[in-house]
Structures are given as structure tokens and as C-alpha cells.
Amino acid sequence: MNDKKIATIAVRAGINSDEHHGAVIPAIHLSSTYALKGFNEKRQFDYSRTGNPTRATFAQAIADLEQGAIGIVTSTGMSSVHLICQLLSTEDTVVIPHDCYGGSYRLFTHLAKRGQFKLIVVDQNDESALTEALSQKPKLVLLESPSNPLLRLVDIEKITKDCHQVGALVAVDNTFLSPALQQPLLLGADIVFHSTTKYINGHSDVVGGVLVTKDKALGEELAWWANCIGITGSPFDSYLALRGLKTLPIRMKQHQENADVVAKYLKEHSAIEAVYYPGFPDHPGYEIAKRQQHDFGAMMSFEVKGGVEAVKKLFANLELFTLAQSLGGVESLISHPSTMTHAGMEISAQIEAGITQSLVRISVGIEDSDDIVKDLAAGLAASQL
Ligand code: PLP
């Protein structure tokens, strides 16, 4: 267990580990294979799908940040989710939130349709529905807090206790906050995972994933599967993500400072019906956020008055915000969840989850907040013409 503070762990990951040359920053190891010392005498690494020094350094850094036993770096965030599915067999039940990331929803619903496991999709804020789901004795419960795109929160500690009582493992998608702002394993969860494509790498130039387990044996089982099915991350992506990680805590500070300004601005704007941001005291998850998060994050979504036509005008009149999928990079991004990130969900499931045509999601970047607000002001004014 690494007892250093988060910023120290992030910066120091892999530093001074080169015993040959004394390189301060760990080298990138691109080699796909490693020479044996002799007959049946393996070194620490033998083949890069199974293990790679650069990937191992990155995995250890995230495991340390999440205070877990084993970290596994995968090729994408979705392959981390898929890796967790390897724990399931046809008789097992899985519970997922009705408002999770569209890609996770698509994966679980399609695998369930093929009979790989039984699936219950539930509003995890509906206590009686969740209790009913847990009475089915699921093997795995997936949590996503805050959720994508509506920023709903669930009480990770409480739900985890309830899940453990029925013998379920709890896996938490921590992509929206990163370990700098939330550490689900410390709240009792068994597995935490990320799309490192987002805040952890932070520069929108890597697609990757990582998963950390609290328990060593569970981590070893999943690492075995990651090698078996061949979804481990590449050395180059691991190198870039490790580089991005070093500034994670400081980036998150600026992301949030800007998000606070932007959220308050949007809340007062006459073109906006509602803003979903857990940093508002009247947000239903505010008290939970204060308890289980280190801060409120920099993701938010809002409903524009005038429906999808107003949304189109808003998008067409922005200069600084880029209309693009993804989140968590230094640059501000804007998206329309229904037709973009959550297009993998049928419209009926979107409606059930509360995703409307007038819903817009933003990932607040670290540009100057004056410029971010000015851009939104221009777009929102045009949206109502
Ligand atoms: N989880 C969340 C919350 C996401 O937003 C995403 C991607 O947008 C993923 C998982 C999947 O990650 P990736 O796109 O890296 O496969």
C-alpha cells in the first residue's frame, strides 16, 4: 500500500526506476518479447501481451492511487468492462444502473441477450427497486457515480454493504471523477475501473482502460483473463497515459474551478431549463458527493429551452467548445448524449433513463473560464433566435 498523498503518487510513478542509466522518467518498452536467461528461465517479463514494464508501471500507479491490490491496464475503457464480464457464467445475475454510459449499457444488454448471464437494469436511486434486484442474489452489481450523462449519484458505501450481504461483487465506474476525486475501493467496492481515455490521460490522445481490485486473488484472476483474451493495453498508450497522469491532480483543480464558474453561469441563464451538476446544494446527490467525493468534478449536463432545434443552433454558434464525443481532456467538449455517447441505447431506454433530445453534456476544460463562459453565452443567445 502506498501511503503517499494523491499528487505525490501521481507525479512520482516510475520516477528513478531505471537502474541501468538513471533516467529520471521511466523509458518506454516497445519490445513485444523478452529473452529468456536460459532454458525455462524466464525473467519478470516474457511476452508483452502478458506483461510489459511500461504498462506495469502505469498499472501500479493507478492501483496505488485507488489504494487497491492489483491494477490491470486494458486497451479501452470498454475492454475493462468486458474483462469484468469474464467473472460471470450463464446462471449468474448482474445488476446495472439504468442510466449508465451507453456503451456499458449496450455491452451488458447484448451479452445478456445471447444468454451469457441474466441482467437486471434498475434505477439504483429507487431503494425498493434496488432491494428487489438484490433479492435475486446477483453475482455482480455495477455502479456508475456520477452517472453519464445526468450526473446522478449513488451512495457507494451503503449500496456496497447491501450488495455484500447478498454475496455480490461491486464494480464502480470512476471515469467521471478519477482517483483524484473519488476512491471507491476505500468505500468498500471490490473493483474500480476507468476509461483512461478521459481524465487520467487527460489530453485526448489515448483510448485506454484500467481496472483495480481490492483483493489480490480477484486481481490475479482478472489479469489471467486479460492475457487469455488479449485485451491488455499497448506500451505506447501506457507511456502516454502515465505521462498524463502526472498532472491529474493539478488538472482536476483547474477543471473544477472552471466548472464551478460555468455551472453557476448556466444555472442563471434564461435559455436553460435545468442544470445537472452535483456541486449545487439543491442537487439530490449533493450530500452524498460531499461525503464520498473529494470534490464535485467538472462534468455537467443541461436542458436547453426550445428542444433539439435550439440545441443545433447552440452547437452551430460555438467557437471554443468542440462538438465531440469523449470528456476529461484539457479542452472543453460539448455533446448531445441522445445521438452521440448514448446512441447505443434504444430511445425507449434513453427516455427511461431521463435522456431527452434537449439534453446537452459538457466537459469543462482548463482554458480560461472567461473565454469558456463567453463562448457559451454566444451559443446560448443564438439558440433562442
Ligand atoms: N465509462 C464511461 C463513464 C465512459 O464515459 C466511457 C466512454 O465514454 C467508457 C466507460 C468507455 O471507455 P472507452 O471509450 O475508453 O472504451
Q: How close is the Cα of 103 to the center of ligand 1, in Å?
A: 7
Identify the pLDDT of residue 314.
98
Give catalytic residues, as residue numbers. 49, 101, 173, 198
> Which of 40, 99, 50, 39 lies closest to 73 in space, CA to CA?
50
In order of their start, the domains of the chain are: 6-245 (3.40.640.10), 249-383 (3.90.1150.10)
Q: Which residue has the cell 505525490?
A: 8
Mean pLDDT, consecutive 10-residue stretches, the chain (385 aa), reads 93 94 96 97 96 98 98 98 98 96 95 98 96 98 96 98 98 98 98 98 98 98 98 98 98 98 98 98 97 98 98 98 97 97 89 93 98 98 97
Q: How close is the Cα of 35 to the center of ligand 1, in Å?
A: 36
Q: CA quadruple 160, 164, 168, 171: dihedral positive or negative?
A: positive
Identify the pLDDT of residue 213.
98
Runs of H (alpha helix) within the chain: 6-12, 53-65, 77-85, 102-113, 127-134, 156-165, 216-229, 235-245, 248-268, 286-292, 307-316, 347-353, 369-383
Q: Which residues of 176-215 are buried (b: 16+ CB within 10 A; e: fewer)?
A: bbbbbbbbbbbbbbbbbbbbbbbbbbbebebbbbbbbbbe
Pair 151, 127: CB distance under 8 Å: no
Q: Mind giving me the DSSP string for 2-14? A: --S-HHHHHHHTT
Identify the pLDDT of residue 1.
77
Pair 106, 265: CB distance under 8 Å: no
Identify the pLDDT of residue 210.
98
**Three cell numbers, residue 89:** 457464467
Q: How close is the Cα of 244 to the center of ligand 1, in Å?
A: 17
Q: Which residue has the cell 450488495?
A: 163
SS3 298: coil
Cα separations (Å) of 223 from 41, 177, 179, 217, 228? 22, 24, 21, 10, 8
Q: How close is the Cα of 101 to the center of ligand 1, in Å?
A: 7
Name the amino acid, one letter, at 147.
Answer: S
Q: Mind giving me the DSSP string for 225-285? A: HHHHHT-BPPHHHHHHHHHHHTTHHHHHHHHHHHHHHHHHHHHH-TTEEEEE-TTSTTSTT
**Three cell numbers, residue 159:** 449500496
Q: For residue 78, which atom of ligand 1 is closest to its CA?
A: 16
Identify the pLDDT of residue 349.
87
Identify the pLDDT of residue 352.
87
Pocket around ligand 1 at a 6 A CB cut-off? 76-78, 101, 103-104, 148, 173, 175-176, 195, 197, 207, 209, 341
Query: Best substitution site from 80, 85, 101, 342 to test ligand 1's pocket, by max atoms within 8 Å of Cβ?
Result: 101
For the segment 238-248, what is each residue's pLDDT rounded down to a tens digit?
Answer: 999 999 999 99
Closest CA to ligand 1's atom 6: 195
Q: CA quadruple 278, 305, 341, 129: dihedral positive or negative?
A: positive
